[in-house]
Structure 1
Amino acid sequence: MRPQAIRNFDYLYLGSLVLGVISFVLNYDAIIAEVQRETAANGMEMGGGLAIGSLIFGLIVSLALWFLVSRLRIEIVKWVLVLFFVFGLIGMPAVFAQLPSLHAVISLIVTVMQAIAIYFLFTPEAKAFFADKGGNHID
């Protein structure tokens, strides 16, 4: 049986991914315009495929990390999540510059959800979950 801390991690982390996809859909036109503006400034013409491809790639990586932490109990991966979270924080000032846009508000909520989710990976309950080497199975 998985402890409550790990279930809380699951709900918050997966919820943050869903909220991120919702934000992408709601802000699709603005995101595509920004991608086109940035790629045109660099002498390339990229359309929505780049943004959609980036979203899909990010979701695949995020879901793989979640699976490795939550289901396979690979403790080192929680540090990879922490590293990705810190890198994401570095980009937050640019998001705050967009306030009060809907995208910025949702990004802030996603960041808070991820921070709380990661916190749950460091609780005593979660540490015991990772230490249970005999429990390296999907449950």
Structure 2
Amino acid sequence: MRPRSIMLFERIYGFNILLGIASGAWAWMHWTAMLPPGMPPQVATMMPIIMASSLIGGTIINLLLLFFIARKGAEIAKWIFIVLFVVGVVGVLRGFAGSAVQLPAVTRVFAIVQIVIQAACAWLLFRPDTVPWFRGEPVPPNLRDTFS
């Protein structure tokens, strides 16, 4: 039986993936507004391909992480999730500090919400009831109801 922390992680992270797809779709519709002034035409031509590839690739990676963490209890997937979360936080902070691409307010809001959700997911992965899950052991009865 999966621990409650993992089941909650699965639901929250699944919502986060859907939010990422929505954010990517919104960015897709407004990609021309994100181009810095003086962008070479070749880059502007390739931007939709880059964005589509990023959205598809990111979604696949997130779905694989969700599967291997929530269904298989793979500890390596947990640590990959943590590393990608830290990289994402650094990227968001750099984006807010100033970069060549100025993100619209809606995209920034999506980014902040996703970082908060991912922080909650990271916290769930280190709850006491997840330790046996990632070791491949059954969850002891005293840890089954962590949130009750």
- Runs of 5+ consecutive residues of structure 2 not aligned to the other structure: 140-148
Aligned twin of 1:86: 86
For residues 5-16 of structure 1, the aligned pairs below 5 Å read 5-16=5-16
In 1: Cα distance, 2:50 partner to 2:38 partner: 12
* Pairing of 1:1-139 with structure 2 (within 5 A): 1-34=1-34, 40=40, 45-96=45-96, 101-133=105-137
Letter in 2 for 1:120: L
SS at match of 2:126: coil
- Report the TM-score when normalising by structure 1: 0.81
Identity of aligned residues (%): 30
User: For residues 78 and 39 of structure 1, do their structure 2 counterparts lie closer, same or farther at Cα, with a shift above 3 Å needed?
Assistant: farther
Question: Do the aligned partners of 1:36 and 1:46 also contact (CA within 8 Å) in 2?
Answer: no
**C-alpha distance in structure 2 between counterparts of 1:39 and 1:4, whole Å:** 49
Alpha-carbon offset, residue 108 of structure 1: 0.3
CA contact (8 A) 1:73 1:130 kept: yes
- Mark the CA change 1:43 to 1:107 in structure 2 (over 3 Å): closer, same or farther: closer
- Higher radius of gyration, 1 or 2: 2
Q: Runs of 4 or more off by more than 4 Å in structure 1?
A: 35-39, 41-44, 97-100
Q: TM-score, normalized by length of structure 2?
A: 0.77
